[in-house]
Amino acid sequence: MPKPDDRSNNPERIENTIGHTMQNMNEARDYAKAHAEEMSAEQKQEIKEKNQRREESIEGLRDELKDEVNDQQHNQ
């Protein structure tokens, strides 16, 4: 028998994911700054593009978080 769908912790999980993604973005930015002289233009561009994808992911996660919070408020 399958487990029931427990979505009660979704907002917390999404918040954690946002936090980790932001941390990764900041670490990549700091690394690029600290090692800029040692990095090729291609490597710098890769970090920039990856951080752009991270920013887009965070925007989507924030929308998802709003939906989850609204859903929980309406189902209480």
**Domain-embedded: residue 65:** yes
pLDDT at residue 18 in the model = 98
Domain count, the chain: 1
pLDDT digits (tens, 9 = 90+) for 20-75: 999 999 999 999 999 999 999 999 999 999 999 999 999 999 999 999 999 888 87
Tell me the whole-structure pTM to 2 decimals: 0.85
Domain membership of residue 59 (yes or no) is: yes
Exposure string over 18-47, b if 16+ CB within 10 A, otherwise e: beebeeebeebeeebeeeeeeeeeeeeeeb
Structural domain boundaries enclosing 50? 41-75
Q: What's the pLDDT at 19? A: 98
